[in-house]
Amino acid sequence: MQKYLSIFRISFIHALKNYKAFIGLSIFLIACLLIFAHLWKIAAVRKGMIYFEPSHLLWYIAFNEWILLAIPDTHDDMERDLRSGTLAYLLPRPISYLGSVFAEASGTLCVNLIVLGLVAFLFTWLQIGSLPFHPVGLLVSLFFGLIAGIVGMIFRMLIGISAFWLHTVDPFFWIWEKLLFMLGGLMLPLTAYPQWMQRIAHLTPFPSILGERSALVIDFNLHHILTLASSLLIWGILGLALLIWLYKRGLRILNVEGG
């Protein structure tokens, strides 16, 4: 465990010093929130959905964008390791490859969550001028934000591990990202969707990573907390089990070019 903590600490420090990336991500985050702030001033709320005022919806979108941008591009690093043959040189080390990737990505994720969280919170607060949630609700939402980021990171590692069989993992990532936008409720709460689409969405991990977690900030209640916690736990365990299984199968067919 000490080895993984060391990797986490090094990754955390390295990400913290990479201020240029934070400037770019922060500008992109603020641009998205500015667009949505004006969009929701003229958008009508569908009859029958949970009523969110435009100011509430901006907080909802801010919490969505926070997680979306904070998850590191772990799949790209894993694809590069597998395609370049670097994995063959990493395997003899007395440490799990998956464990080291997870620890390194976790360090970057934590820094991203802190920095982008502050940017999103301060900008939205200045834009709206009020907080729509209870302080306890905010703390619970921040905790679930960390858990959702970890679950999202696990699924990105699943995309990266597909490089064992695919020449490039980009198509899988594009599909994952578009489904996350649509079924996760990135710009619209899921309650604004048709019933059949809501049922499909709740069969996937996307609402737990984005929409349902962000809605907790506005609609804070015990049932919502328990449902979200159960969903994140189940999808996290399933994703981790599938990742380990695919990794073991991938090692059996490992063929390093030139190695």
* Distance between CA atoms of residues 101 and 76, nearest Å: 11
| Rg of the Cα atoms in the chain | 19
pTM of the full structure? 0.88
Q: Is 170 helix (H, G, I), strand (E, B) or coil?
A: helix
The residue extents of the domains of the chain are 2-252
Instruction: For residue range 163-181, list pLDDT tens digits in order.
Output: 888 878 888 999 999 999 8
Q: What is the CA angle 204-32-174, rounded to 5?
A: 40
**Token pair for residue 123?**
């900008």
pLDDT classification of 35: cutoffs 50, 70, 90:
confident
**Mean pLDDT, all residues of the chain:** 84
**Token pair for residue 147?**
């858990």
**Token pair for residue 204?**
């996937």
Instruction: For residue range 96-154, list pLDDT tens digits in order.
Output: 889 999 999 999 999 999 999 999 888 888 887 777 667 777 888 889 999 999 999 99
CB count, 10 Å around CB of 187? 21
Indicate the residue type of 165: W
Instruction: For residue range 226-240, list pLDDT tens digits in order.
Output: 999 999 999 999 999
**pLDDT at residue 132, rounded to an integer:** 67
pLDDT classification of 257: cutoffs 50, 70, 90:
very low
Contacts of 98 (CB under 8 A, 6+ apart): 157, 243, 244, 247
DSSP, res 44: P
pLDDT classification of 50: cutoffs 50, 70, 90:
very low
* Distance between CA atoms of residues 259 and 196, nearest Å: 50
**pLDDT at residue 137, rounded to an integer:** 75
The alpha carbon of residue 98 and the mean position of all alpha carbons in its chain are separated, in whole angstroms, by 18
